A = this chain, B = another copy of it.
Amino acid sequence: MTKKHRNGEIWEFEREMSDGTGGGAGAGDVILGIDGGTTSTICVCVPFLQPHSLHLADPLPVLARVEAGCSNHNSVGETAAKETLEQVMAEALSKAGSNRSAVRAVCLSVSGVNHPTDQQRILNWLRDIFPSHVKLYVRNDAVAALASGTMGRLRGCVLIAGTGTIAYGFTDDGREARAAGAGPVFGDWGSGYGISAQALTAIIRAHDGRGPQTKLTNSILQILGLSSPDELIGWTYADTSWARIAALVPIVVSCAEAGDEVANNILQDSVKELALSVNAVVRRLELCGSDGKDSFPLVMVGGVLEGNKGWGIAEEVINCISKDYPGVVPVWPKVEPAIGAALLAWNFLKDSRRE
């Protein structure tokens, strides 16, 4: 039985293409890799290469790249998340001059996938969009982030600290473990959201007499164009999207660099929390071997771990981890997580052929 896949307005472009639903296996085949985060969603369309030619293709050629907003269903709701995901996939195929029949595999790595039921729900939804020959993979966004640093090999640990944070690890024999990544209600203090929420809290505490004065007050009020800490409350609840709050991180970093103790303590706490997440994963998976000294890659991803030159959050996190696990080898990915997702799809395809 061939079930017709979904044809909403979003897929109109396919009809306008010369070969219609044609395509099939051939030189024009493609893979879609999607990195769905809480702040942004990126979809890349890459050519499907035969195994012998992949190693020659470095960097992987990208036929199309499309960017959109949040696709974490826990943050924006399921309907909005799905719309964003379907839109980026359609646009990437359209820009690549391709269509769904030419797709060999889709790897959707998206934040908010915390349980097999989340995975299954998204797989069922994807199944309705694509023809039945397309291989579909749904993973937590941390998995693509890891793959972006290991060129598709699932071994080692990744630490993401962007709007949210998660540590995720894999062993060569296929075991996996994660820590944190459950979003704002569950702490996640090392994340961009966590750092910013603590800064907002510190301002209110300084204002009402529960905590020490801090440079954060003037810096954050000024950037938001507000005149008093009381107005911060209204500003915050007017739109509690996690990314909007997390965007305050650079101000916290610059206050810490300017010597503000409150801001400095917030960043120190965040370092401890991030290192704790990685250590929990490394310990459970014994990534460091039985003597605790084996080397393992730690892929570092996300805005919190990038670009602060003075107060180096990433460096502090690595220092903190290497006290317990001296074999930690930080890896700064050369490609973005969406490419990691495409590499994963390619590896999954290869493995499924072997089976």
Residue positions of A touching B, CB distance < 8 A:
74-75, 112, 114-115, 117-118, 177-180, 182-187, 197, 200-201, 204-205, 208-210, 228, 230-234, 236-237, 240, 245, 276-277, 280-281, 283-284
Contact (Cβ within 8 A) A210 B114: no
Chain B residues with CB below 8 A from A180, complex form: 204, 208, 210
Contact (Cβ within 8 A) A118 B204: no
Contact (Cβ within 8 A) A185 B114: no
What separation, in Å, do the CA atoms of A177 and B210 have in the docked complex? 12
Interface centre among A184, A209, A232, A283 (most CB of B within 10 A): A209
Contact (Cβ within 8 A) A185 B237: yes
A sample of 5 more A-B contacts (CB under 8 A), given A185-B236, A186-B201, is A74-B237, A117-B231, A182-B232, A186-B204, A187-B205
Chain B residues with CB below 8 A from A210, complex form: 179-180, 276-277, 280
Contact (Cβ within 8 A) B179 A114: no
Partner of A233, one of B114, B187, B240, B283: B114
What separation, in Å, do the CA atoms of A96 and B75 have in the docked complex? 44
Contact (Cβ within 8 A) A208 B178: yes
Contact (Cβ within 8 A) B197 A185: yes
Chain B residues with CB below 8 A from A232, complex form: 182
Contact (Cβ within 8 A) A186 B200: yes
What separation, in Å, do the CA atoms of A276 and B201 have in the docked complex? 14
Contact (Cβ within 8 A) A228 B115: yes
